[in-house]
Each structure stands twice: as C-alpha cells, then as structure tokens.
C-alpha cells in the first residue's frame, strides 16, 4: 500500500484563526477595563482643576460690574466684560461692537429728537453703524435687490425700437427704476456715479460687486450684453444710467460715435439718434452725458433732446466735465428732472487727487446740504471709492443714490426746491449742513 502524506495547513486559514483569537482576547480585556473604570472611577476627577484666563484679570465682586458700557470712553476703546467662576473680571478685546445709551433727559431740557450731539440715540454701534432698538444690523447693511428690467408698463415699441415710457397710471421710469432712499436723520448727503461700464468685464464686475449699492453706475451704450449688465447691477442694489455721447469741441484722433448728439441740430438728427440709444436696454432711471461741451452750449440743439427725455420720464444727469452749458436752463424750461455733478473725481488719475476730490465732496455736502461727484471705473477709482464710503456716515455725511439729488430745476428767481428721492417723497436733507 502506498504511504500517505498529510497536506500542509493553509497559511490564510492559520492567519485568520490567529487574528480572530487575538481580537477576542484583547476585546475581552478592554471591556473588562472599561467596566472597572465606569463603576469605580470618580466623575469629579475628570474635570479641570483650575480656570486659566487668556487676558488680564482683576479680582472684584460681581456686584460692582456694570451691566452696560458706554461708547464715549476717553480712550475710545470698548471691551466686553465677562465673569469667570472665581468672580474674576476678564477683559476681552473689542470685536467692533459698542454699546450706547442715551442719558436721562434733564428737567430743564426736553429731548428734541433731532439727533443732538450731546444726546446720542440709544442703541449699539456695530462697525460704525448705530443699531437702535427694534432694528437689526442685517437690516441696516443688507443689499436691497432691485427688480429686473423691464418692469411691465414702462416700455413701448415704436419703429422697431423698445423705448421707455411713462406708465398708464402716471409713473415715470425716473421714479420706478431709481433706488429708494430716505434720510430720517436730516444729514448732509453725497452721491457718486461711476461710469464707463460694460466695456471691460473685469472692471464692470468689480464696480458692481465691490462698491456700495448706493453708488450709481452708468453704462456705455455700446456695451455687449448691456441688458445683462444692467440687471446684474440692479440685483446688487445699484440704480443705473445710460451714457449718451454728445459733441465735444475737440476729438483729436478719436472718431465721433455714430449716434453722437451734435450741435447745430434742431432735432431732425439728434432725436432719432437719442431714441436709438435709449432702446439699447431697459432699467435705467436716467441718462448721463459722455463729453458734450460743444453740444451743451447750443440751446437750440439741447431743447428738443430734453423734451424727449421729459416726455419719456427719464432724468438727465450732467457729469460736471464742463463748466458752462444750457442743460440747467433747458431742464427748468421743459420741466425735466436734472442734476449736475460738482466735479469729476478722477480727472487726474492719482490716489491723492482722487482722495482730495472726494474730501471736497464731503465739505460741499456739509456746506450746501448735498453734493455729487462722477468718475470712471478705473481700478484705482473703484478701490479708493470703496474705502472712502466705509466710514462716511461716521463723518456726518450720508451716501445717497444720484436719483435722490435729481429734481426739476427752479425757474429763474424762484425758491430752490428741496432735494428729491428716487420716489415721489422728499428726502429731508438739511440745506444748512
């Protein structure tokens, strides 16, 4: 009989057997140890024995801790005070939140409600904005998204062109498409328009996304996807203007735009050109000139153009690039909403010059109640304007949309009209600053 030989054991089977036995042994030991700790351990020993303060502390009774802090400390620095378990007072760094409380009125002087400097309104100041009882920081800083254009009833088709029109119930695009504005504090206001948008997508997006929604944006009529850019700006809360090229005295080597409004014309050429420009998009509350020193000095050419704007409910904004012109007189005669910028803030494209121009707008607003500046979407202009607007309200000036300053100019020898908001209501601007 042939001899038999037992087969060698499988390495895989042996490995699995050993692994299983090891897990069983160590699992039993761990379970036993855990049970012993659970039933015999002291829970109090698991907590910390000492509280360490991350900031300087001072010993004292919690009864002496005031429940509120005032913002008018001599150093101007606020701190948040909390109590540790041992009644130590830990002073933490400020997180930008300041508490303010109005002092009790004295019997001799009743509160006037006019925002006196020595009687600050009750509330807390967060990042420079005063939040009063019943308000929230989000409500004060939220971006008001404006409705996309066109809004029903604000356009009509004429000769193949879509043009703005006053609605059947009498509402004008200058009111419907303007950003809402209110100035309950009766403070001086300053407005800023940034133009030349729609040509460079990067600069256009930066202006829309980075500038505060109160800054008005103006778009070149030749911009690609103009309606897209207009609605994108409105979605971020910006009201919009369309730029209208007008004849200048000297073009140099630059060719005149084919739809430029020219001097010496009584409307035969300028009105069709204007209508073609107005049909490029919807959603703007007004138009602003691009150049135009020569055109603006010709009352015969200006008159018919302003009449078209009035009949279509569109505001005219002048960018302040020339010193003389017939716009204000013609606007008063035709009853057209109009406003003029005090200066072009980036006529000299240096940081110091732009800052000086913006400072001049603040001063003018405090002297006259309101002021307006115009600039272009240069990266430097956008960056400086963005920084300038951050703490503008702390300097006693409110940033307003350009539509808030537009109104029908008073007739000659008539009393000046108050600054208007984009709606039919008046903004309580203090003309005395």
Report the pLDDT averaged over residues 20-39: 77
Domain ranges, residue 134: 66-102+117-141
| 176 compared with 107, residue with greater pLDDT | 176
pLDDT at position 195: 97
Model confidence at 11, in pLDDT bands (50, 70, 90)? confident
Q: Among 7-11, 318-322, 376-380, whose mean pLDDT is lowest? A: 7-11
Q: How confident is the model at residue 251 (pLDDT cuts 50, 70, 90)?
A: confident
On whether residue 46 sits in a domain, the answer given is: no
- Chain-centre distance of CA 30, in angstroms? 62
The reply to whether 418 falls in a domain is no
pLDDT at 128 over 90: no
Does 383 map to a domain?
yes
Average pLDDT of every residue of the chain = 78
> How many Å apart are CA 256 and CA 370, to the nearest integer?
34
Give the pLDDT of residue 289: 96
- Cβ proximity of 405 and 426 under 8 Å: no
Q: Is residue 48 part of a domain?
A: no
Query: What kind and span of H or E run contains 361?
Result: helix 351-368
Confidence of residue 109 (pLDDT cuts 50, 70, 90): very low
Count how many residues are written for the chain.
433
**b/e per residue, 51-87, with b = 16+ CB within 10 A?**
eeeeeeeeeeeeeeeeeebeeeeeeeebeeeeeeeee
Measured CA to CA in angstroms, residue 171 lies from 109, 155, 180, 233, 406 at distances of: 45, 12, 15, 22, 16
Rounded Cα gap, residues 294 and 264, in angstroms: 10
Residues 136 and 250 grouped into a single domain:
no
What mean pLDDT do residues 340-365 have? Answer: 95
- What percentage of the chain carries pLDDT values higher than 70? 68
Confidence of residue 102 (pLDDT cuts 50, 70, 90): very low
Q: Are residues 86 and 125 in the same domain?
A: yes
First to last CA, the chain: 124
For residues 89 and 167, membership in a common domain is answered with no
The reply to whether 163 and 126 lie within a common domain is no
Dihedral sign, CA of 407, 325, 432, 398? positive
Q: How much is the pLDDT for 400?
A: 96
401 φ, ψ (degrees, to nearest 5): -70, 155
126 and 195 in a common domain: no
For residue 164, tell me if it sits in a domain: yes
DSSP code, position 287: E
Q: Which position has the higher pLDDT, 174 or 11?
A: 174
Do 347 and 252 reside in the same domain of the chain?
A: yes
Provide the pLDDT for residue 254.
Answer: 76
Number of folded domains that form the chain: 2
Q: Is 129 within a domain? A: yes
What whole-number distance in Å separates Cα of residue 113 and Cα of residue 135?
17
pLDDT at residue number 210: 96
**Considering the domain boundaries, does residue 41 fall inside one?**
no
Do 346 and 205 reside in the same domain of the chain?
yes
Q: Are 432 and 369 in contact (CB under 8 A)?
A: yes
CA distance 399 to 183: 10
Q: Beta strands 286-291 and 370-376: pairing type?
A: unpaired
User: Is 77 part of a structural domain of the chain?
Assistant: yes
Give, for 317, the enclosing helix (H) or strand (E): strand 315-318
Q: Let me know whether 161 and 134 are in one domain.
A: no
User: Mean pLDDT, to the nearest integer, of 317-326?
Assistant: 89
CATH of the domain at 326: 3.20.20.370
Least confident of 63-77, 182-196, 238-252, 371-385: 63-77
87 with 178, same domain? no
The pTM score is 0.66
Least confident of 56-70, 119-133, 171-185, 264-278: 56-70
* Strand-strand pairing, 398-400 and 155-158: unpaired
Based on the fold, state whether residues 73 and 192 are members of the same structural domain.
Answer: no
120-129, 156-165, 278-287, 293-302: which has the minimum mean pLDDT? 120-129
Same domain, 170 and 316: yes
- What sign for the dihedral angle of Cα 26, 28, 31, 37? negative
| Phi and psi angles of residue 131, each rounded to the nearest 5 degrees, phi first | -105, 110
Q: Are residues 245 and 176 in the same domain?
A: yes
């Amino acid at each position: 009989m042939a001899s038999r030989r037992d087969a060698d054991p499988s390495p895989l089977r042996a490995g699995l057997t050993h692994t299983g036995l090891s897990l069983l042994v160590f699992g039993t030991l761990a379970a036993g140890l855990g049970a012993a700790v659970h039933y015999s351990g002291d829970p109090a020993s698991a907590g910390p024995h000492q509280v360490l303060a991350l900031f300087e502390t001072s010993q004292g009774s919690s009864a002496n801790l005031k429940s509120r802090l005032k913002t008018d400390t001599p150093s101007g620095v606020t701190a948040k005070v909390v109590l540790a378990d041992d009644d130590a007072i830990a002073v933490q760094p400020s997180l930008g939140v300041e508490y303010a409380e109005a002092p009790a009125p004295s019997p001799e002087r009743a509160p006037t409600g006019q925002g006196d400097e020595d009687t600050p309104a009750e509330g807390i100041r967060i990042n420079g904005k005063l939040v009063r009882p019943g308000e929230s920081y989000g409500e004060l800083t939220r971006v008001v998204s404006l409705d996309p254009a066109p809004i029903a009833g604000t356009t009509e088709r004429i000769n193949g062109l879509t043009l703005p029109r006053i609605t059947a119930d009498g509402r004008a695009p200058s009111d419907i498409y303007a950003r809402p504005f209110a100035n309950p504090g009766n403070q001086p206001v300053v407005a800023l328009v940034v133009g030349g948008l729609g040509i460079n997508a990067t600069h256009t997006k930066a202006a829309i996304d980075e500038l505060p929604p109160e800054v008005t944006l103006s778009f070149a009529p030749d911009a690609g996807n103009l309606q897209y850019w207009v609605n994108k700006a409105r979605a971020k809360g910006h009201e919009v203007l369309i730029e209208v090229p007008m004849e200048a005295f000297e073009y140099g080597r630059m060719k005149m735009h084919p739809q430029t409004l020219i001097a010496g014309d009584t409307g035969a050429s300028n009105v069709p050109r204007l209508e073609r420009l107005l049909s490029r998009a919807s959603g703007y509350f007004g138009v602003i000139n691009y150049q135009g020193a020569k055109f603006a000095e010709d009352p015969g050419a200006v008159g018919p153009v302003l009449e078209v704007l009035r009949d279509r409910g569109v505001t005219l904004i002048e960018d302040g690039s020339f010193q003389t012109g017939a716009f204000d007189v013609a606007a008063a005669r035709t009853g057209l909403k109009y406003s003029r910028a005090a200066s072009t803030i980036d006529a000299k494209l240096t940081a110091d010059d732009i800052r000086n121009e913006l400072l001049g707008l603040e001063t003018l607003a405090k002297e006259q109640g309101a002021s307006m500046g115009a600039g272009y979407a240069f990266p430097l202009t956008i960056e400086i304007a963005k920084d300038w607007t951050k703490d503008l309200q702390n300097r006693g000036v409110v940033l307003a949309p350009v539509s808030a300053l537009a109104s029908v100019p008073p007739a000659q020898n008539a009393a000046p009209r108050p600054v208007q908001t984009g709606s039919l209501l008046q903004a309580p601007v203090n003309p005395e600053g």
